[in-house]
Amino acid sequence: MALVFWEQAVADLSARDPVMDRIIQSCGDSMPEERGEAFTTLARAIVGQQISVKAAASVWQKVMASIPEMTPERLIATEMDLLRACGLSARKVDYLRDLSRHFLEGTLATANWHDLDDETLIRRLIEVKGIGRWTAEMFLIFYLHRPDVLPLDDIGLQRAVSMYYNGSQPVDKRTIRAVAENWQPWRSVATWYLWRSLDPVPVIY
């Protein structure tokens, strides 16, 4: 995949931020994989809520083995016990089924998403049961390829900012936001490289 802004973002971040430059150099050629389906991206983000990247990848692999054709129709028709056996909590199964209903009933309009600004999109997405701000932000980064999303609630981002910018001391949202001012308008790209610096398994939603 060639995101049109990625090369410029990498150049800008490397020039502005010596810490980010070292991280980017250590990660080599790395960028998110393109995702073709909005439903799949949201479903995978729900699966990945509050668990590690490695654990999320393992659970998703089992879900896909059980439902090779990931569609709202197939997911909502799958027995709860089968989904639970993949490692999903009952709550996440409920969230995935509610997401499926929104797509099947057409209440989650997708046609004009690319025309809406980030905050408007987030407000619409969090109306769906089980989609909070973090999940909506993952969708903006991985499906809509928005370049300047800063997921302040993301544990990986918090760990990385603590490690590289705050002497491994705990950080709050205000600190992260202040550090990230220097990354604008490429905060999604900076976040991606911080994730990659912590985990050899690429983050995928």
DSSP H/E element including 73:
helix 72-77
Tokens of 145: 């390829």
Tokens of 29: 């050629």
Nearest alpha carbon to residue 103 among 43, 46, 56: 43
- The arithmetic mean of pLDDT across residues 102-131, rounded, is 87
CB 24, CB 193: distance < 8 Å = yes
Q: What is the pTM of this model?
A: 0.86
pLDDT tens per residue across span 120-173? 999 989 988 889 999 999 899 988 899 999 999 999 999 999 999 999 999 999
pLDDT band at 36 (very low <50, low <70, confident <90, very high): low
Amino acid 142: pLDDT: 87
Q: Give dist(CA 29, CA 24) in Å, integer.
A: 8
- Contact partners, residue 144, CB within 8 Å, separation at least 6: 113, 114, 121
Q: Give dist(CA 178, CA 24) in Å, integer.
A: 20
Q: Give dist(CA 80, CA 1) in Å, integer.
A: 35
CB 190, CB 147: distance < 8 Å = no
Q: Give dist(CA 110, CA 77) in Å, integer.
A: 23
Q: How far is CA 19 from CA 32, 148, 172, 193, in A?
A: 21, 19, 19, 11
Q: Give dist(CA 145, CA 189) in Å, integer.
A: 10
